[in-house]
Amino acid sequence: MKMKIAVLSGDGIGPEIVEQGIKVCKAIGAKFNHKMEFEEALVGACAIDATGNPFPDETFELCKNSDAVLFGAIGDPKYDNDPKAKVRPEQGLLAMRKKLGLFANVRPVTTFSSLLDKSPLRRDLVEGVDFVVLRELTGGIYFGKPQGRSEDGNTAYDSSVYHRYEIERIVRLACDYAMKRDKRLSVVDKANVLATSRLWREVAAEVGKEYPEVQMDFMFVDNAAMQLIQWPGKFDVMVTENMFGDILTDEASVITGSLGLLPSASIGQLTSVFEPIHGSYPQAKGKNIANPLGTILSVAMMMEYAFKLNKEAALVREAVEKSMENNFVTEDLSKVHPRSTSEVGDWIADYILKK
Ligand code: IPM
Ligand code: MG
């Protein structure tokens, strides 16, 4: 197969981890005889520095004309510490999501047996945890208008806005996921307080009628946050709005033992984007210590979702699992003998090639 992959490394540790992702893609290409073409473009703080725009038009064009996008991370402390900055790296990520119509962010949470003891939760709670969160990605409070500050600067406001069609399409997708899994779907909202959440409930219940086999339950987000920790094994598929999904997936990621492990796929109307869920980890930038596994597992999702290459995806996952079993992992997972980002990437690429 011929594949054109847009590479958006972004900021902080982005370039280092994406480099490992590309290594793994190339190993898969060599092993299974796929022709892969990679082309890089700017996004985030590095794009602001170079062009003044966190998501330049050329980057958008490249994404549109590619079969998939491999994305690293964005964010730079220079902007985090400047609340007055007019242009921010995060706007690049949000613009990309909006312009590519990436309305669904799929974040699978699975545990690896060799890592069970790394979780802050008890082993018996974590064993067998396997669920997927579908986070709505182009609506809600991240994009609602009006947003801003009053003239005197003493008041600020954000708006959470959802339209019926936005809820319908993601709940439908979540039901499709549930049908392929254990047929259980938790719709997470705050319907006791928020009007948008009440619309979510109404629309979700309607969509649910199209899927009589899916057992749908509704959960307030505060309760869901608690249950994720108390009983993570009970979830199968979870669907929720943009901001709740952002928060709950960070929470869910530590169940697996490291935030550095969680991959994601953002899918929608144009090219899909594959990225680890962690941020740009600026403290580690250039140190070759960040965990590349979230990115490498995102490559597995890319093989599966963008190219329907299930065997390739399975081999990437197997290689990742083996690296963990062999304790060939970065410092977040091994204090005794940590390996560098690139060593882990090399090990995994090598495993794939030799298999
Ligand atoms: C994520 C990130 C982003 C988000 C930030 C960087 C804007 O936290 O992808 O989860 O909030 O969506
Ligand atoms: Mg987040």
Read off the pLDDT of residues 12-50 as tens digits, 9 standing for 90 and up: 999 999 999 999 999 999 999 999 999 999 999 999 999
* Buried b / exposed e along 322-347 (16+ C-beta atoms within 10 A): ebbeeebbbbbbeeeebbbbebbbbb
The answer on pLDDT for 204 being more than 90 is yes
Q: What pLDDT is attached to residue 127?
A: 93
Rounded to an integer, the average pLDDT of 173-195 is: 98
| Structure confidence at residue 253 (pLDDT) | 87
Over residues 320-340, the pLDDT tens digits come to: 999 999 999 999 999 899 999
Note the pLDDT of residue 312.
98
Q: How far apart are CA 245 and CA 290, in angstroms?
A: 24
Burial call 36-70: b when 16+ CB within 10 Å, e when fewer: beeeebbbbbbbbeeeebbbbeebbebbeebbbbb
Closest ligand 1 atom, CA of 243? Answer: 11
What band does 115 get if pLDDT is binned at 50, 70 and 90? confident
Q: Which residue of the set 157, 222, 287, 355 is catalytic?
A: 222
Q: Residue 145 C-alpha to ligand 1 middle, in angstroms?
A: 19
Q: Tell me, what amino acid is at 46? A: C
- Which numbered ligand comes closest to the C-alpha of 280? 1
Go through the chain and tell me how many residues it has. 355
What secondary structure letter does DSSP report for 75? -
Q: What is the reported pLDDT for 112?
A: 87
pLDDT tens per residue across span 235-290: 999 999 999 999 999 899 889 888 889 999 999 999 999 999 999 999 999 999 99
pLDDT at position 340 = 98
Here the tokens at position 182 are 């254990």
Q: Is 246 in the pocket of ligand 1 (CB under 6 A)?
A: yes
Architecture of domain 120-256 in CATH?
Answer: 3-Layer(aba) Sandwich (3.40)
Question: Can you give the pLDDT at residue 168?
Answer: 98
The per-residue pLDDT for 244 is 98
pLDDT at 85: 85
Q: Evaluate whether 124 touches 96 at the Cβ level (below 8 Å).
A: no
The owner of tokens 């047929």 is 183
State whether the beta carbon of 96 lies less than 6 angstroms from ligand 1.
no
pTM for this prediction: 0.94
Instruction: Judge if the upstream peptide bond of residue 146 is cis by omega within 30 degrees of 0.
Output: yes
Report pLDDT for 267.
96
| Domain boundaries defined on the chain | 1-102+269-355, 120-256
Determine the topology of domain 1-102+269-355 in CATH: Isopropylmalate Dehydrogenase (3.40.718)
Q: What's the gap in Å between 245 CA and the centre of ligand 2?
A: 8
Instruction: Give yes or no on whether 1-102+269-355 and 120-256 have one common fold.
Output: yes
294 pLDDT above the threshold of 90: yes
Is the pLDDT confidence value at 295 over 90? yes
Average pLDDT rounded to a whole number, residues 290-307: 97
Q: Parallel, antiparallel, or unpaired for β 68-73 and 2-10?
A: parallel
pLDDT at 83 > cutoff 90: no
pLDDT of residue 335: 87
The proportion of the chain whose per-residue pLDDT surpasses 90, expressed as a percent, equals 92
Atom of ligand 1 at shortest range from CA of 275: 9
Which pLDDT does position 113 carry in this prediction? 85
Distance 22 CA to ligand 2 centre (A): 23
